[in-house]
Amino acid sequence: NISSRIKVFHYGRRVLNKFKLKFLEKFIHLPYKVVISSMYSNNIFKISSLKSLNYVTLFDIYELTKPYNKDLYTTVSSSQNFSILHGTGLTGIQTNLDYKLKEVSQKANTANSTAYLFSNNEIPFYEEYYSLTSEQIKVYGIPKHEKQWVEDLASRKTIRKDGRYIFIISRPTNEYITTERRIEFLEMIKKIAIKYQLEVVVKLHPKELKSKLYKQVFDSDEDGIEWGLSIEHPFTLGMHCEFAISYYSGVPLDLLSLGVPTIELSNFIGIDHDDHEHSLRNCRGEAVREYRYLNLVLGASTYDEFEKHVIEILNDKEKVIKELRSNYRKIFPVTKNINNIIADEIKNTII
């Protein structure tokens, strides 16, 4: 895992793999294993010891063919496996999937897997990419959106309730979600925060902990805003915010269960990875990703669009939530006692 990485080995292997120099990568991998085995000898579990036992695995098959999980491949594929997507999302709807994923996934041994999908919309993807049969697929909705689960998690820790704030669900910039466009969005957020007298709370992605973009924009002049970073769970941060902002994330689906609307600030126009002949598009023909396409978030690419949604929320938040939840229910079934149902099915398989 991340805490056990030794950078000189980890990034050295990634560079060699990127340039398809696998014969050299082996010379790094072997000493890497020796060093890690020595440093973490008390924490290493020998997966091979499972071979003589009866066992089942709980493992997301979307991750089964990833290079960093190759040591688990035989273990997972050799016994009964139960798969649930490791985050919140909608798999297979997006049109920017790597074509290599299909080629690799179709070679995976999923004969012993049962997949609990979030939506019927995902079925064609799992049938085509992972060769799952209808008997291997079950669709009950999103387990962690069960009311009891949400209420319990959200109530475990609370933050201050005084002060009105915007909750930003952040993510790293890259060649698709560019730094230039992120700065534009941050300037828009700052302008809204000042105009409507809102504070800002940011939940950084682990990969952007060293980013200075927020400080660069939010503290850039005399018109600064009240803002801060938080390590709290999104449910906790979402409980009392006026609304959330994402740049493309599955977290807004979680926040809907709390009655929190999210505005997705995104602009993929001219980004080849997203803007192509097969792209999902909004009513104006602009390339968008799945959450905006399915109206599970309020989409905005410009300041005028952004402010329009902010005004809608501040004027009648309940109406906005009602519409978003209606769109949610068209895509995701809501099953009472979903977690107990899944747990009982797995338990009955084991016994």
Q: Give the closest residue to 120 by CA, choosing from 333, 337, 345.
A: 333
Q: What is the pTM of this model?
A: 0.86
Q: Give the model's pLDDT for residue 328.
A: 97
| Of 156 and 267, more confident | 267
| Of 294 and 148, more confident | 294
> 280-301: buried (b, 16+ CB within 10 Å) or exposed (e) per residue?
beeeeebbbbbbbbbbbbbbbb
What mean pLDDT is predicted for residues 11-29? Answer: 66
Q: Give the model's pLDDT for residue 2.
A: 47
Q: Give the model's pLDDT for residue 101.
A: 76
Least confident of 7-16, 132-141, 313-322: 7-16
| Of 168 and 55, more confident | 168
Tell me what the pLDDT averaged over the chain comes to: 88
Predicted confidence (pLDDT) at residue 19 exceeds the cutoff of 80: no
* Model confidence band, residue 78 (pLDDT cutoffs 50, 70, 90): confident
Contact 64, 108 (CB under 8 A): yes
Quote the CA–CA distance of 186 and 298 in Å, as a whole number.
17
Three state DSSP letters for the chain = CHHHCCHHHHHHHHHHHHCCCHHHHHHHHHHHHHHHHHHCCCCCCCHHHHHHCCCEEECCHHHCCCHHHHHHHHHHHCCEEEEECCCCCCCCCCCCCCHHHHHHHCCCCCCCEEEEECCHHHHHHHHHHHCCCHHHEEECCCHHHCHHHHHHHHHCCCCCCCCCEEEEECCCCCCCCCHHHHHHHHHHHHHHHHHCCCEEEEECCHHHCCCCHHHHHHCCCCCCCCEEECCCCHHHHHCCCCEEEECCCCHHHHHHCCCCCEEEECCCCCCCCCCCCCCEECCCCCEECHHHHCCCCEEECCHHHHHHHHHHHHHCHHHHHHHHHHHHHHHCCCCCCHHHHHHHHHHHHHC
Most confident of 25-39, 69-83, 244-258: 244-258
Q: Give the closest residue to 153 by CA, choosing from 254, 287, 11.
A: 254
Most confident of 50-64, 66-80, 117-131: 117-131
Predicted confidence (pLDDT) at residue 17 exceeds the cutoff of 70: no
In terms of C-beta density within 10 A (0-12 exposed, 13-18 middle, 19 or more buried), how is residue 218 classed?
A: buried
Contact 298, 261 (CB under 8 A): yes
Query: Per residue in 37-60, pLDDT tens?
Result: 777 777 777 777 777 788 889 999
Predicted confidence (pLDDT) at residue 7 exceeds the cutoff of 90: no
Least confident of 36-40, 95-99, 215-219, 238-242: 95-99
Q: Give the closest residue to 94 by CA, choosing from 292, 321, 322, 330.
A: 292
In terms of C-beta density within 10 A (0-12 exposed, 13-18 middle, 19 or more buried), how is residue 332 classed?
A: buried
Give residues with Cβ within 8 angstroms of 51, minimum separation 6: none
Most confident of 26-40, 42-56, 193-207: 193-207
> For residue 327, how many C-alpha atoms fall within 13 Å in the half-sphere facing its CB?
18
Strands 280-281 and 287-288: antiparallel
Contact 341, 300 (CB under 8 A): no
* Model confidence band, residue 9 (pLDDT cutoffs 50, 70, 90): low
Predicted confidence (pLDDT) at residue 140 exceeds the cutoff of 50: yes
